[in-house]
Amino acid sequence: MHNELEETHPSDVVDLKDTGFGYTLSVIGGKYKIIILYWLLENEVMRFNELKRSILNISFKTLSVTLKEMEADGIVVRKEYPQIPPKVEYSLSDRGRSLLSVVNMMCDWGEMNSR
């Protein structure tokens, strides 16, 4: 990281989105993605309404959009069962489960620093 007091030159500036950190933030950033990730790590498979009940104050639309984004990023797997009424389950892909260490570190940091 650059020391904030150092003079930076245009050639030294790195676009955050072009870094591993920036990419990780794009995948798990936002208001609810990390919370969805947490619940799916805890429960392995959840239905939409189970997620909705677990995440306080999230709207149906926001949950739906966020799950679609996470599915597009290869983090969440959506499995639809052809039955009536429709049954849809969400789980983490291998790629999503690979974020377990990141979530564990965040939990550990919170435990150590919340007192």
The CATH class of 15-113 is mainly alpha
| 1 has pLDDT over 90 | no
**Structure-model confidence comparison of residues 63 and 5, the more confident one:** 63
Say how far apart CA 44 and CA 90 lie, in whole Å: 8
Task: Verify cis geometry, omega within 30 degrees of 0, for the bond prior to 85.
Answer: yes
pLDDT tens by residue, 44-72: 999 999 999 999 899 999 999 999 999 99
The domain limits of the chain are 15-113
pTM: 0.79
| 107 has pLDDT over 80 | yes
Q: How high is the mean pLDDT of the chain?
A: 88
- Determine the 3-state secondary structure of 110 from DSSP: helix
DSSP string covering 31-99, please?
SSHHHHHHHHHHHSEEEHHHHHHHSTT--HHHHHHHHHHHHHTTSEEEEEE-SSS-EEEEEE-HHHHTT
